[in-house]
A = this chain, B = another copy of it.
Amino acid sequence: MNEEDLLRLLRALPLHPGARGLRDDAAIVGAFVLTTDTLVEGVHYLPTDPPGDVAWKLLGVNLSDLAAKGATPEGVLLNYPLRDTDWDRAFLHGLGDALCAYDCPLIGGDTVSLPPGAPRLLTLTALGRDAVAPPRTGAKAGDALWVTGTIGDAGAGLAVARGEPGPAELLAAYRRPVPRLVEGRALAPHVHAMSDVSDGLLLDAARMAEASGLSAAIDLAAVPLSPAYVAYRGDTRAARRAAATAGDDYQLLFAAAPDYVPPVTAARIGAFAPGRGLSLHDAGEALPLPGTLGYRHSPLAPATRAP
């Protein structure tokens, strides 16, 4: 069963009104936004990634969903499998630093034993408060599509983590994604739709368009790339396409009125129109869509280390 089939089955279960039909990355229950994400060893991170970085990533990806709702972190619950004392200590040390950095306390959790040799599944559930909670579904025809920062760094960072020589900034973007909480709070009251970019810019933009019943057109030339990314992968059309379909960026993607001027750094990369589907162009030239619009997290092949 793939995730789409599973989602169909899950949507047939009794749903809470705050679940928004499971069509969003976070739910609204009373005064709180709730979101949960699991990182699987060998799927979402490499067994060789430093445990402290895995903790920062686990917190970052969860808080990123709160950021997309304009929420402030209230706290997190941690489901933690015990396996190796040194790793556990380093993970918790990193988690402590990350919780302090985001002023996000621990609310509770559960610890379990693992059968020998089992990979870790690390689950965090985050609560946010004071959310404005623009939905993924709210884009309007004529809206501009924006993204808060550079795209593709984490995808390139994964290659670096697996042994390709490359810039440290890219590795850091992969291992310690920064949730855009300040940007989310500044944008949420003014934008029509917002989500984070977790699975790939094109995929998340297509989802926003579909959820809003619209089409979206994206200008590949307008997708912001970091100097480190350009130094590593170049600024060719292929490099831009690779960036736009890589995962784990955790920037915010938002739809806003065409005359809206964001109060935070952001790049205008496209527009919404009546219709369906996603289209891609590069400085006026229509481009075919890539075969896959994003990154599907599936078991990673063993890393090949460069000599």
Q: A36-B109, A37-B110, A109-B36 known; A12 and B77 CB under 8 Å?
A: no
Q: Is the CB of B40 within 8 A of A108?
A: no
Q: Which B residues touch A105, using CB under 8 A?
A: 13-16, 19
Q: How many copies does the complex hold?
A: 2
Q: Which B residues touch A14, using CB under 8 A?
A: 96, 99-100, 104-106
Decide if the interface of chain A is mainly helix, strand, loop or mixed. mixed
Q: Which B residues touch A114, using CB under 8 A?
A: 40, 43, 119, 299
Whole-angstrom CA separation of A95 from B96 in the bound complex: 34
Interface string of A25-45 (1 = CB under 8 A from B): 011011110111110111110
Q: Which B residues touch A31, using CB under 8 A?
A: 30-31
Classify chain A's interface size. Answer: 35 or more
Q: Is the CB of A115 within 8 A of B43?
A: yes
Cβ contacts A to B, 13 pairs, < 8 Å: A6-B80, A6-B111, A10-B106, A14-B100, A30-B129, A31-B31, A38-B112, A40-B114, A79-B79, A79-B121, A112-B121, A114-B119, A115-B119
Interface string of A147-160 (1 = CB under 8 A from B): 00000000000000
Whole-angstrom CA separation of A69 from B105 in the bound complex: 22
Interface string of A1-15 (1 = CB under 8 A from B): 111011101101111
Whether A269 sits at the interface, judged by CB under 8 Å, is: no
Pick from B6, B44, B96, B121: contact of A12, CB under 8 Å = B96
Pick from B32, B37, B299: contact of A113, CB under 8 Å = B299
Q: Is the CB of A1 within 8 A of B99?
A: no
Q: Which residue of B lies closest to A2 (CB)?
A: B82
- Contact residues, A78-100 vs B (CB, 8 A): 78-82, 85, 88-89, 92, 95-96, 99-100
* A298 CB → nearest B CB, Å: 5
Whether A125 sits at the interface, judged by CB under 8 Å, is: yes
Whether A64 sits at the interface, judged by CB under 8 Å, is: no
Q: Which B residues touch A125, using CB under 8 A?
A: 36, 77, 125
Whether A75 sits at the interface, judged by CB under 8 Å, is: yes
Q: Which B residues touch A96, using CB under 8 A?
A: 12-14
Q: A29-B107, A36-B77, A106-B19 known; A10 and B112 CB under 8 Å?
A: no
Q: Which B residues touch A82, using CB under 8 A?
A: 1-3, 6
* A43 CB → nearest B CB, Å: 5
Pick from B5, B79, B100: contact of A38, CB under 8 Å = B79
Q: Which residue of B lies closest to A125 (CB)?
A: B125
Q: Which B residues touch A16, using CB under 8 A?
A: 74-75, 105-107
Q: Is the CB of A112 within 8 A of B79?
A: no
Whether A118 sits at the interface, judged by CB under 8 Å, is: yes
Q: A96-B14, A107-B16, A113-B298 known; A1 and B85 CB under 8 Å?
A: yes
Whether A271 sits at the interface, judged by CB under 8 Å, is: no
